Structures are given as C-alpha cells and as structure tokens.
C-alpha cells in the first residue's frame, strides 16, 4: 500500500484533486491539508475551491471568503468559495440582456421574464452554476493545481452528472440555432445582403467546448485524482460503496481513500479508560478491519482524532503533515 505523499510523487502530472464523501466526515479538512502541502512544500500555485453550499472553507481557515472571489491566503495558495445564488442571478440577468439585444427589445415580455426568474428555484441551477464556475476557473489556467471540495454525495453526483446534461442541452440548442441560421442565410441571400457573424452560435460553441474540455479533464485519471473521505462507522462504509458505484457510472474511478476521525488505539492500554471510550475505540478498530478488507488497495491515509477542531493555518499544517505520512494507515 502507498501513502498520499508517494501517490503525489508517482502521479506528478495530476492537475485536479477532488475530495468527496458524506457531509461532516472531513472532506474540507483533507482538501485544505492537501492544498496547503502542494502550495507550501511542493511550491505549486494552488487553488482550493469549495463546491459545498455551506461556507466550509471560511470556517476552517477562520476567514470570510464567501462570495469574495479568488483570495490569496499564502504564497502559492488561494481559495474561492462561490456564492452560487449570486451567480445564478447574474446568469439570469445576462440571459435577459442577450434576449433584448438579439431581438431589439427595450423590455423582456412579462411571461418570459417570469419564466427566467422561476428557474432559480430549479435544483439543477445550483449544480449548473457551480460546475460552470469550476470549468471557468480551470479554463483560465492561472494555477498549476486545483483542489475541489465536493458537496455531500447527492449534490456531488448531480453536479458531476450536470456536465453530461449541460452538454446535451447545449447540443440541442446548437442544433436548433443551426436551423435558424440556415433560414437567416437564405433570407439574406434573397435580399442581396451580406451574412454577418453569428454571435449566438459562437457563444454556444464556446460553452460546449468549455464543458467538454472540463468533463474530459475530470474523467481523465492521468490528470485528475478522485479521493473519498470516510470514518470507521458502518453507515459511512455503506455510503462510500454506494457513492463509488454512482461515480463509476459517470466514468470516474477512485484514486484513493482517507479514513478520518480515528481514536488512537493505544488509548486502550490506558488505565481508567471509560467504558464509553473503550467501546468507541473497539468499534472503530472492527470497522477499520472492514475498510481495509473492502478498500485496501485504495487506502492513502488515516487521520486520528485531534484534541481540538482542525481549524486555522497551524492545525491545517499539522493535518497536512499527518496526511502525508506514508505509514499513517498502517499503524491503526
């Protein structure tokens, strides 16, 4: 078995790291620790991006990043926590502006205006806005490494699936636009007029290319590493198995797995240990055996329970050092 540090050395071409798992198990902790290591030890320009609707990065770094764009917090390390609601609203306004521009309108017809506003209530709009933000940041190529802290399974699966949905939707719109363009060209020819640039078609093609490029990237195991985070409990193990099946159906395979919130087993030797804690440790040890049996070849690291919450740069640095220890999971 290899540790996370060995994985990083062997897979130096990985550009994107995605951490997924059930809510509250340590995805943000692991994402932040790996980003910290890449920026401070490997000296790579790194962007840490939270796709979770909760302001998790602001909590762990103890600073408010929410909706404030890309923010540098250390040399080589920047973070971004998008305000998806704001992004959806901006997207709706942009659609209205283009409709008015295309058709020479001063105002959008009321029924169309109401329809566009109602789309913000669609669950898929959040995933679409987040996915679009991820693709846009990667397309700019301002950083050498990108770390994505995924939302819990349900949102995460829908967000990854959104790539395929968006791509098919754009294909349909593009097909319809090509028909319209044919009619426009015939009409212009009959009138003896020159046919101008089709800005709508150019924009559709640009969107489609961006989605396909990003989708190809996150499903390419040579350029993207996909990690799961879980804790040694039955529900977390079952959820991880289900999530792996769902992600594999989307063409994404797990690169590694991190076990979090493990009580030090040596505590069992301590005199006066409470029955409650003894029972918890013994339970975790049983489930660690199950985890090794089910996911052994994928184990990359184990993080023990910390005496205080892993918040702030000092604690994140400690977690990064523990996560990179190649023998961390072997000693459990």
- The whole-angstrom distance between residue 223's C-alpha and the CA centroid of its chain comes to 15
Coil, strand or helix at 98:
helix
Whole-number pLDDT of residue 204: 64
Which neighbouring-strand residues pair with 227?
19, 256
Q: Do 159 and 128 meet the contact criterion of CB atoms below 8 Å apart?
A: no
Residue with tokens 């992600």: 247
Whole-number pLDDT of residue 108: 74
Phi, psi of 300 (to 5 degrees): -120, -20
* Mean pLDDT (whole number) for 97-101: 72
- Phi and psi based region of residue 43 (left: phi greater than 0; alpha: psi -120 to 50; beta: remaining): left
- Report which of 49, 153, 73, 100 is spatially closest to residue 313, judged by C-alpha positions: 73
Phi, psi of 149 (to 5 degrees): -90, 105
* Mean pLDDT (whole number) for 110-116: 73
The model carries a pTM of 0.78
Task: Give the strand pairing for 71-74 and 77-81.
Answer: antiparallel
Coil, strand or helix at 221:
coil
DSSP 107-147: S--HHHHHHHHHGGGSHHHHHHHHHHHHHHHHHHT--SEEE
* Mean pLDDT (whole number) for 11-22: 87
Whole-number pLDDT of residue 118: 67
Q: Which two tokens stand for residue 125?
A: 């709009």
Whole-number pLDDT of residue 153: 53
Whole-number pLDDT of residue 53: 63
Whole-number pLDDT of residue 330: 47
Q: How many residues would you count in the chain?
A: 332
Supply angle C-alpha 67, 68, 73, rounded to 5: 125
Spatial separation of the C-alpha atoms in residues 198 and 177, rounded to whole Å: 10
Task: Render the burial of 26-60: b for 16+ CB within 10 Å, e for the rest.
Answer: bbbbbbbbbbbbbbbeeebebbbbbbbeeebbbbb
Whole-number pLDDT of residue 312: 93
Dump pLDDT digits (tens) for 192-208: 776 666 666 666 667 66
16 or 196, higher pLDDT = 16
161 or 310, higher pLDDT = 310
Which neighbouring-strand residues pair with 259?
230, 302
Spatial separation of the C-alpha atoms in residues 2 and 78, rounded to whole Å: 28
Whole-number pLDDT of residue 332: 45
Tell me the percentage of the chain whose pLDDT exceeds 70: 75
Spatial separation of the C-alpha atoms in residues 84 and 89, rounded to whole Å: 9
98 or 73, higher pLDDT = 73
Mean pLDDT of the chain: 81
137 has pLDDT over 60 = yes
Dump pLDDT digits (tens) for 201-248: 666 667 667 667 777 777 788 888 989 899 999 999 998 888 888 777
C-alpha dist (Å) from residue 18 to 99, 102, 155, 255, 274: 36, 39, 14, 10, 38
Spatial separation of the C-alpha atoms in residues 250 and 244, rounded to whole Å: 10
Dump pLDDT digits (tens) for 271-326: 888 999 999 999 999 999 999 999 888 888 889 999 888 999 999 999 999 998 85
Dump pLDDT digits (tens) for 39-82: 999 999 999 998 766 668 888 999 988 888 899 999 999 999 87
Whole-number pLDDT of residue 40: 97
């Amino acid at each position: 078995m290899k540790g996370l540090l060995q994985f990083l050395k062997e897979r130096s071409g990985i550009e994107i790291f995605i951490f997924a798992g059930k809510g509250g198990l340590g995805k943000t902790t692991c994402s932040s620790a790996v980003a910290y290591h890449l920026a401070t030890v490997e000296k790579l320009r790194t962007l840490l991006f939270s796709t979770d609707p909760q302001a998790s990065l602001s909590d762990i770094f103890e600073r408010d990043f929410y909706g404030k764009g890309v923010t540098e917090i250390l040399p080589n390390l920047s973070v971004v926590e998008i305000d998806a609601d704001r992004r959806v609203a901006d997207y709706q306004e942009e659609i209205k502006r283009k409709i008015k521009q295309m058709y020479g309108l001063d105002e959008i017809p009321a029924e169309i205006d109401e329809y566009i506003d109602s789309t913000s209530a669609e669950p898929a709009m959040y995933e679409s806005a987040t996915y679009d933000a991820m693709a846009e940041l990667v397309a700019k190529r301002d950083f050498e490494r990108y770390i994505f802290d995924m939302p819990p399974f349900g949102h995460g699966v829908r967000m990854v699936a959104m790539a395929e949905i968006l791509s098919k939707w754009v294909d349909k719109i593009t097909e319809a636009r090509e028909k319209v363009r044919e009619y426009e060209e015939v009409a212009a020819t009959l009138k003896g007029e020159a046919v101008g640039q089709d800005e709508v078609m150019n924009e559709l093609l640009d969107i489609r290319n961006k989605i396909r490029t990003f989708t190809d990237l996150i499903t390419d195991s040579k350029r993207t590493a996909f990690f799961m985070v879980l804790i040694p409990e039955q529900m977390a193990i079952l959820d991880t198995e289900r999530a792996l099946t769902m992600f594999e159906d989307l063409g994404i395979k797990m690169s590694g797995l991190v076990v979090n919130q493990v009580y030090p087993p040596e505590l069992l030797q301590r005199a006066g240990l409470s029955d409650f804690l003894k029972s918890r440790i013994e339970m975790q040890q049983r489930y660690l055996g199950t985890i090794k049996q089910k996911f052994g070849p994928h184990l990359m690291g184990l993080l023990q329970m910390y005496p205080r919450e892993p918040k702030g740069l000092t604690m994140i640095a400690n977690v990064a050092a523990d996560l990179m220890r190649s023998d961390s999971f072997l000693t459990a």
